[in-house]
């Protein structure tokens, strides 16, 4: 028995992509509190505390701007979870033809969606004010999904969200080289090493070192390793939950509340900020399991699962619609621009999904 069924995994993707594409719009607006995604900026944490204790009419927007990027650890967790079930659980595909074939197959899965989004964005970007000036080497790095490895990622990677493709290729390589069919201790050891490397940046939490680390696999090993570990230990250990819906609801609600509280409290210190992805994953799982325990919430779970089903397409096309509609919000009509952005992104994602399917 698995902790998360297929519908719940899709619903988790739905929640994660909602956070990501809302964050990637709102954090570009001047009034919004800025996030601590790649570096820990104490002034951002202080401003969030002020917003938290003095909420204004944009409070919900601030929350998406500050926390929305934590959808990334959820996707990373689900990637690790899915890799174990696919290649090691014995319930689905359990073989591959070596490291080269493994990496090539995953690159071929990612490339069509990334290429489509990048090509369309480049055209839209050039036709709209404030277009980016790409260099030939940055274009090659993006298309080969190696751009994360190069200096100054904040300015080199454009549009920003596409760094995720390079991250996934790194994690696939780490999994196949170091973790595939190995003792769970390798996983735990790698998580500890990667966390220790991040902790070494304590004296410069706003510096280039921590920034580059968090653009790459070392900054995302915790949620990825969690996915592998939970997939490994699940089964009989979770059977006790399935028999009592009331117990399921109470436990999931408790986990959700504790995790959300932890996420907020841990956001104000560099050392505690490093472990927030752990609680982000727990909060998302708790929320979905809580909804799954409420029959009346089934329509919400199915709605989130539907969004999760087009999450890859939303991810690659939302920079395109953002570039078109964000001037509306920047002029002062925040809600008008946001609604147009949401509607256009969903509609374009449905089209992109069909195109991507034909390219694979």
CB 201 within 8 A of CB 180: no
Closest CA to 339 of 351, 316, 321: 321
CB 264 within 8 A of CB 51: no
Residues in the chain: 360
pTM: 0.94
pLDDT more than 70, % of the chain = 94
Q: What are the tens digits of pLDDT across the range 270-319?
A: 999 999 999 999 999 999 999 998 989 999 999 999 999 999 999 999 99
Sort 253 into a burial class: Cβ within 10 Å, 0-12 / 13-18 / 19+: middle
Q: What is the pLDDT of residue 240?
A: 44
Sign of CA dihedral 202, 205, 211, 212: negative
Q: What token pair was written down for 75?
A: 């996707």
Q: What are the tens digits of pLDDT across the range 337-350?
A: 999 999 999 999 99
d(Cα 321, Cα 117) in Å, to the nearest integer? 11
């Amino acid at each position: 028995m698995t902790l998360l069924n297929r519908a719940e995994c899709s619903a988790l993707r739905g929640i994660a992509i909602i956070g990501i594409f809302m964050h990637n719009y709102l954090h570009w607006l001047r009034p919004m509190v800025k996030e601590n995604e790649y570096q820990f900026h104490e002034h951002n944490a202080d401003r969030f505390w002020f917003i938290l204790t003095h909420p204004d009419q944009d409070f919900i927007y601030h929350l998406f701007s500050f926390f929305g990027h934590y959808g990334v650890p959820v996707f990373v967790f689900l990637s690790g979870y899915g890799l174990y079930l696919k290649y090691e659980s014995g319930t689905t595909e359990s073989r591959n033809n070596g490291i080269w074939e493994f990496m090539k197959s995953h690159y071929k899965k990612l490339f069509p969606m990334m290429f489509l989004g990048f090509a369309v964005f480049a055209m839209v970007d050039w036709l709209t004010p404030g277009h980016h000036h790409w260099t030939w080497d940055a274009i090659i790095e993006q298309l080969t999904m190696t751009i994360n490895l190069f200096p100054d990622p904040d300015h080199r990677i454009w549009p920003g969200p596409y760094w995720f493709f390079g991250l996934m290729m790194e994690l696939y390589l780490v999994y196949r080289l170091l973790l595939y069919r190995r003792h769970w201790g390798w996983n735990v050891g790698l998580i500890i090493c990667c966390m220790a490397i991040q902790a070494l940046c304590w004296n410069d939490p706003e510096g280039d070192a921590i920034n580059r680390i968090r653009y790459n696999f070392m900054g995302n090993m915790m949620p990825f390793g969690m996915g592998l570990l939970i997939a490994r230990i699940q089964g009989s250990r979770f059977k006790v939950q399935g028999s009592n819906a009331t117990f399921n609801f109470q436990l999931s609600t408790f986990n959700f509340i504790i995790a959300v509280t932890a996420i907020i409290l841990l956001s104000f210190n560099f050392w505690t900020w490093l472990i927030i992805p752990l609680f982000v994953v727990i909060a998302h799982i708790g929320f979905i399991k809580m909804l799954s325990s409420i029959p009346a919430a089934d329509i919400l779970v199915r709605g989130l699962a539907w969004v999760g089903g087009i999450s890859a397409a939303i991810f690659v096309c939302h920079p395109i619609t953002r570039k078109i509609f964000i001037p509306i919000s920047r002029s002062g009509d925040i809600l008008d621009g946001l609604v147009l952005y949401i509607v256009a992104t969903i509609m374009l994602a449905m089209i992109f999904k069909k195109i991507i399917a034909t390219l694979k």
